[in-house]
Chains A and B, each alone.
Chain A
Amino acid sequence: NAGVMQNPRHLVRRRGQEARLRCSPMKGHSHVYWYRQLPEEGLKFMVYLQKENIIDESGMPKERFSAEFPKEGPSILRIQQVVRGDSAAYFCASSPRRDTNYGYTFGSGTRLTVV
């Protein structure tokens, strides 16, 4: 049973380009969460999705960022027109239920560098 798979592991984008980060949850997990870890900062919650639904996007920047979790395929975090301040590690986690008492499983992250 593979864990949470994130790709790519490393992504380099020039300012103004688009970044697409992918996350495949664990088998049997239908709840996906995205977190961002800025340099020297703790992980910050961005968005919580279930299949085809955004449940809570209160941690997402209002502009340029979007997330989806389609019926088929991985969850995608999309950052348009990237800026240097978007450079960070982006982690995805999945769970079997909407209840952290059932545990989160985190992926290894995507490290985005904007040059």
Chain B
Amino acid sequence: DAGITQSPRHKVTETGTPVTLRCHQTENHRYMYWYRQDPGHGLRLIHYSYGVKDTDKGEVSDGYSVSRSKTEDFLLTLESATSSQTSVYFCAIGTGDSPLHFGNGTRLTVT
């Protein structure tokens, strides 16, 4: 898994509650990404980071925020979860000129 750990692996939460997903890497890669996978939509980029405290929005960033205070950790926060955010979330890492490597995902259910 190229040294990528996502936690938790599964989470069920209620609408309106805050949720934070964590991605931890041991590869010292500069770039980190959060994607969501949904049927019929494939993988869509939520946010990405190109260095500590340097982040940018992806295609589907509304309702999500991220933080990267250390090279190895990239956090994805849903400030107030909605049912439309029920999805599988994947973290990925990269060097900027090579393929992305993905974690095993977090399955989030918002009831």
A binds B: no
